[in-house]
Chains A and B, each alone.
Chain A
């Protein structure tokens, strides 16, 4: 098992810094999920740890040893790229046993491991198939099984569930997490899916333009994000400009004629950017007078199963998105007047971004 450390790792592609002086320590046995928009440097980070790219500056350490100049095969890492990189002339089974065979494992132990991994990804019945006979999702699962069967000390997964059907993705994500928790492999998992990130991660790292914006336990990054960008990347947000004034132990927020109370945050007062997650917004009948929030009319309603997604047009704050649990929000129909609840503990405050909100949230 191994600890992974990036020290001021910098990778240049021409004039662009694909990875910009990233400092990151991933503890032994930790499951780190890296989130970020396309082109943020997520894959570059994985490839640098795998040894497929040498950083232009900085160092990479595995268990304290400097591996910056070491070849990929000299490192105890298994890498599952987005392109799967399966051996096309080998069957699913032969792909899965490839690494353990190279390592000279006894057949019995090797077969046991490969069988277990192929079962986990629901491919054991296709063990004799060649990659080209499989769907894209199956190829991805085969690649995942091969990476898991490599029994490496560090597992690097690049969007490992992306090509899968929505339902299977949920199933494999649960199983992947249980498995890795059980085996204790240090894992770096790149995704753009925030739900997947929250579900899997011990810690989440958010990258943008090659820079590490924030890293922390999933709950902290979700409930107290350092910037509007990170907040928005981890779940749909409502943002509005407000004026904050201290009021007793709390803060009074005035925005668009609406008065709200928020908890003090980072000493912010005056003009601020306030935000609340759509799923933190409750919904109540229009004449509701308990709790705080804003009145409006439901413009759009989508049933999503567990939750209902509502867009409420409010005179004070414009369109507000709320995603209550279905049991609590299913009564709200389009055209209905409602009260959107905005609990103080869920209101997040940020300094007003100098370039405006849109620029601060831009993903490309």
Chain B
């Protein structure tokens, strides 16, 4: 049962630093999602963890043993790629049992492994079909079966669902998580899709510009991101910049443009501190009267999202916030409203030195 560690892993390509001193411990049996925008270094990290590439500095440990420099083919792991790589001239069965077959395992073993892994991905009935006859989702299931067939306890998933249609992607998320957990594997799953990372993984590692920004359980990461970049990248958020006007006990009063104020939970804020508030669109509500923790504004636009609608409100602080409401509620553009900020839904961050935009930028 593998526990995988990256210790101070750095990777440079010429003058470009793709990874900068990454430290990460992936527990035995843990399903870890590595999430970040294009070019953040997530693919580089997974290639180094799996032995496809060597780090410029730092070490990779598996179960405490230094495996830095051990090539991928000598490691005990299964690898699933974004671009489905099946042998087109071999049927599903041959593709899935390719590993045990080239290793000349006894016929009975090959038979048993093939049955087991194809059953796991629910493709046993299609054993006689060829890749060209299968949908993208089914092909990727076969690729997964093949990765499982060498019985490795470490599974590397490199954007395994990105090439598939939305529907199929959703379905395969379930399958991946179920199989990893049923077999007690350690899994490392790289993706740029925050929803995918949150729904498959026990823990999500957020990366940006070659560094690990933060790591945490999906619900913690969504509800209480430690970092502004994560708050923006994982789900959508409204951000308001202001400064602390006064503090009362565990509360701070933050002032925005035009003198408007909100009461927010204060993690040791001082008068004059520049702060950024983050509130998710589903964490805001519209109310009729001006009492409580509210900011006035005017409805500027409306987008239909299905079960919910998104109302864009230009606050009198001149910020625009998105408020998600049930679609049944009707609201006209141009109407004056009060936006209610429930203190429990407000996260407070110190204003980043280089400015808010820089802290949120995706690349």
Contacts and interface: CB of A to CB of B under 8 A. Distances in A.
Contact of B219 (A168, A170, A330): A330
B174 A219 contact: no
Interface stretch (B47-55, B95-103, B191-199, B257-265): B191-199
A175 interface: no
A171 B363 CA distance: 13
B195 A305 contact: yes
B174 A198 contact: no
B39, B199, B200 pick with most chain A CB within 10 angstroms: B199
A312 to B, nearest CB: 14
Given A165-B192, A192-B165, A303-B219, A199 B305 contact: yes
Interface string A180-217: 01000000000011110011000000000000000000
B282 interface: yes
Interface in A158-179: 165-168, 170-171, 177
B239 interface: no
Given A122-B363, A302-B173, A165 B38 contact: yes
B105 interface: no
B82 to A, nearest CB: 12
Contact of B304 (A166, A167, A198, A330): A198
A236, A303, A327 pick with most chain B CB within 10 angstroms: A303
Contacts of B304: 198-199, 218-219, 222
B253 interface: no
A28 B323 CA distance: 29
B306 A222 contact: yes
B28 interface: no
B194 to A, nearest CB: 6
Given A166-B194, A277-B306, A303 B218 contact: yes
B38 A137 contact: yes
B37 interface: yes
B233 interface: yes
B198 A304 contact: yes
Contacts of B194: 166-167, 305
Nearest to A168: B362
Q: For chain B, give the interface size range.
A: 35 or more
B222 A305 contact: yes
Main secondary structure of the interface of B (DSSP, over half): mixed
Contacts, number: 94
A99 interface: no
Contacts of A165: 37-38, 192-193, 362
A235 B232 CA distance: 25
A192 B166 contact: yes
B71 interface: no
B327 interface: yes
A300, A302, A326 pick with most chain B CB within 10 angstroms: A302
A364 B198 CA distance: 30
Contact of B166 (A193, A223, A303): A193
A135, A304, A309 pick with most chain B CB within 10 angstroms: A304
Given A137-B38, A302-B173, A195 B362 contact: no
Q: Which 8 A-B pairs have the closest CB atoms?
A: A302-B199, A166-B193, A279-B307, A165-B192, A305-B235, A303-B218, A218-B304, A304-B195
27 contacts: A137-B38, A165-B37, A165-B192, A166-B195, A167-B192, A192-B165, A192-B166, A194-B166, A195-B305, A198-B304, A199-B304, A199-B310, A219-B304, A222-B304, A222-B306, A235-B306, A236-B170, A279-B307, A280-B307, A300-B178, A304-B198, A305-B222, A305-B234, A306-B324, A326-B219, A326-B282, A327-B282
Interface of A: 122, 135, 137, 165-168, 170-171, 177, 181, 192-195, 198-199, 218-219, 222-223, 234-236, 277, 279-280, 300, 302-306, 309, 311, 325-327, 330, 364
Interface of B: 37-39, 135, 165-167, 170, 173-174, 177-178, 192-196, 198-200, 218-219, 222, 232-236, 280, 282, 301, 303-308, 310, 324, 327, 362-363
Given A166-B193, A198-B303, A300-B174, 19 more contacts: A166-B192, A167-B192, A181-B301, A192-B166, A194-B166, A194-B306, A195-B305, A236-B167, A279-B306, A280-B307, A302-B177, A303-B198, A303-B199, A303-B218, A305-B198, A305-B222, A305-B235, A309-B170, A364-B135
